[in-house]
Amino acid sequence: MKESKLKSPGVQALTASLICIIAGLLVAFVVLLFINPSGAFGAIWAILKNFFNYSSANLRLRYFGNTLVKSVPLIMCALAVLFSYKVGLFNIGTSGQYCAGLCAALYAALKWHWGWLPCIIFAMLAGAALAAIVGVLKAYRNVNEVISGIMLNWICLYTTNTILSNVKDSASPYTLKIKDYAPQAVLPSLGLGRLFNNNQYVTIALPLAIIVAVAVYIIMDKTRFGYELKATGFNKNAAKYCGMAENKNIIMSLVISGMIAGMGAAFFYLTGYAQYEVTATSVPAMGFNGIAATFLGGLNPIGTIFSSFFIQHITDGGSKVDLSKFCSQTSDLISALIIYFCGFVLFIKIAMNKILAKREAKKIEGGNK
């Protein structure tokens, strides 16, 4: 009976993800062994422990809250990548759309003193607008979405730096603190913070992100619109033949994807947890980590929630390594390795099915004897 369980796609996806994680950790461990043999195990362990590194229970709870706060934008970015990937598009511009979202949200909050809800909507529109460019170029001009996405990332980065320079702190390269200058735009906590030892940054963004994940799942698997999108992804020409507006579907999927990414930026920056640095030399890594989370989550919106948390967990854990021996980028190394191994997921699944089929064949043979 065990075999039938192993055959279910859910179990297979989970096994494949776990194999990717273990392989990523092992290779990273080997790399660390080369750098400093004595501290390698401690470093990996510290990364995996993250908030468990703190001795007091209250601190642990608080830092658990922080990791959750930072997981929210990652979940959103991962969902953004996922949404377009289901339509056969690789939205590597998620980082740029996230950047556009944070630019819109922070500018509206700090300059125009909008409330939090309009800020979120504005951020969604900004992300959607940027993604729409990619979509139109792809649908009507056949421009590779990966390359146009990357180009727009850089354009958006420089634009954001210029725009947000207007609302930055005069003494530092960071934008003004939203708590002090735009309290009306801070996301309400609704008492959620109290659950995490009064962590003020835990806000309604957390449940909202989970709601979005469920919504993406429902749209993709339970509605006609979602099926049309997926059909376009499988075979654009067949979709067209069946009377679906394939170009519209391509653009719509990217617009929604960009919208989710922009919303994610608002969900993070409107908590006041972080300020944007206007001298940044690259777009926020959130979108790229989102790619990791998407594939690690087995391309499932609900799986994405857990994989995002895991990626954020080890990213935060990166700052807990012994900095005299290793640098905090070690965790980036691990997540990059995990994505690399995610490329082998298809192969792992095929191999698993092959082994299962062989076993079954043997059983039948045994039964015949």
Partner 1 sequence: MILLIQYTLIFASVLILVALGGCYSEHSGVINLGLEGIMVMGALGGALAMKFLPIAIPGILMVLISALAAAVVGVAYSSLLAVASINYKADQTIVGTALNMLGTAAATVIVKAINTAANPDDVSSAVQYIEPRKKFVTNMGPFQFNWFMLITLILLIAAWFVLYRTRFGLRLMACGEHPQAAASVGINVFKMRWSGVLISGGLGGLGGICYILAGVSEWRFEYGVAGFGFLALAVMIFGQWKPTRIALAALMFGFFRALSNTYMGFGFLAALNLPSTIYNMLPYIISLIVLALTSKNSKAPKAEGIPYDKGMR
Write the CB contacts of 136 (distance below 8 Å, at least 6 apart in sequence): 251
**Residue burial 56-76, b: 16+ Cβ < 10 Å; e: rest:** eeeebbbbbbbbbbbbbbbbb
Q: Which of residues 16-35 bind partner 1 (CB under 8 A)?
A: 31, 35
If binding is defined by CB under 8 A, does position 147 make contact with partner 1?
Answer: yes
Among 8, 26, 59, 154, binds partner 1 (CB under 8 A): 154
Listed residue (108, 58, 125, 75) closest to 296, CA to CA = 75
In angstroms, give the least distance from the CB of 197 to partner 1.
31
Rounded CA gap, 264 and 262, in Å? 5
The Cα-based distances of 159 to 103, 151, 165, 278, 339 in angstroms read 9, 13, 10, 10, 29
Stretch of 66-74, 232-240, 251-259, 333-341 contacting partner 1, by CB under 8 A: 333-341
Place of tokens 């659950």: 195
Among 325, 349, 352, 356, binds partner 1 (CB under 8 A): 325
Among 47, 137, 192, 220, binds partner 1 (CB under 8 A): 137
Stretch of 51-59, 256-264, 268-276, 280-288 contacting partner 1, by CB under 8 A: 280-288
If binding is defined by CB under 8 A, does position 225 make contact with partner 1?
Answer: no
Among 327, 355, 357, 361, binds partner 1 (CB under 8 A): 327
Among 184, 343, 353, 360, binds partner 1 (CB under 8 A): 343
The Cα-based distances of 209 to 117, 133, 142, 171 in angstroms read 15, 25, 33, 34
If binding is defined by CB under 8 A, does position 329 make contact with partner 1?
Answer: yes
Write the CB contacts of 301 (distance below 8 Å, at least 6 apart in sequence): 79, 82, 213, 214, 216, 217, 220
Using CB under 8 A, list all residues that contact partner 1: 31, 35-36, 90, 92, 137, 141-144, 146-148, 150-155, 158-159, 161-162, 281-282, 288, 291-292, 295, 323-327, 329-330, 332-333, 335-337, 339-340, 342-344, 346-347
